[in-house]
Homo-oligomer: A and B are copies of this chain.
Amino acid sequence: MKATVRIMLKTGVLDPQGKAIEHALAALGFSGAGEVRQGKLITLELDETDPDRAREKVREMCEKLLANTVIEDYEIGIGE
């Protein structure tokens, strides 16, 4: 079963990568783009076939390894 994890910095946490992209876009002549934020997208294949158990397993992975929950929020998609 496929799982997708979207990890973004929490609102209010400074995002230097996003800012760098925003400035680069402006320098390239793209106007009207703001609030650029960059996060991580992790996809994985799980042996688990039950969607609820798969989600719970990925949630544990996020809490223990994938996300830094002090500064990051995560969102889990199962079977996407």
Contacts and interface: CB of A to CB of B under 8 A. Distances in A.
Interface of A: 6-8, 18, 21-22, 24-25, 28, 30-48, 57, 60-61, 64-66
A44 B23 CA distance: 13
A30 B66 contact: no
A69 to B, nearest CB: 16
A40 B22 CA distance: 15
B61 A32 contact: no
A40 B42 contact: no
A48 B32 contact: yes
B46 A39 contact: no
Given A8-B41, A36-B44, A40-B41, 14 more contacts: A6-B41, A25-B65, A30-B57, A32-B46, A33-B46, A33-B57, A35-B44, A36-B45, A37-B42, A37-B43, A38-B42, A39-B42, A39-B43, A41-B41
